[in-house]
Structure formats: C-alpha cells, structure tokens
C-alpha cells in the first residue's frame, strides 16, 4: 500500500476498522452513521434553548 493509500485508509474509520479486523486485531464495537446524520437541522428542529434555536431569522 502506498503512503497515500495508507493515509486514506486511516482517515476513514470504517475502512480502517475492517483492515484491523482482517489483520486479526480486535477492535471495540462501533456504529457507522451516514453523512446525512450530521447536517445542520436548522432552527425549526433545534431543541429549545440550544444555540441554533434562534440563529436564523429568514423570512
């Protein structure tokens, strides 16, 4: 594997975990979430009192 390939593998935790397991190393249980789970929900879905609750004053 090239240095670039190793770096890319290490950066992606799900891919790195698979590589460790293939190599016979134990890894802790984990969950992989889709990138859509990390979008900004916007003020209408923010919990009351959160910093983003009143951030957008769009009309």
pLDDT tens, position by position, 24-55: 999 999 888 887 777 766 666 556 666 655 55
The more confident residue out of 24 and 12 is 24
Does residue 8 belong to any structural domain of this protein?
yes
Evaluate whether 49 touches 43 at the Cβ level (below 8 Å): no
Does residue 55 belong to any structural domain of this protein?
no
Does residue 34 belong to any structural domain of this protein?
yes
Does residue 28 belong to any structural domain of this protein?
yes
Does residue 54 belong to any structural domain of this protein?
no
pLDDT at 25: 95
* Domain tally, the chain: 1
Instruction: Please name which of 45, 37, 43, 48 lies closest in space to residue 58, comparing C-alpha atoms.
Output: 43
Q: Rounded to two decimals, what is the model's pTM? A: 0.50
Domain hosting 24: range is 3-45
């Amino acid at each position: 594997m090239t240095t670039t390939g190793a770096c890319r593998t290490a950066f992606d935790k799900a891919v790195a975990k698979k590589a460790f397991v293939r190599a016979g190393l134990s890894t802790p249980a984990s969950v992989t979430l889709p990138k859509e789970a990390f979008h900004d929900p916007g003020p209408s879905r923010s919990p009351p009192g959160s910093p983003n609750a009143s951030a957008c004053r769009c009309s």
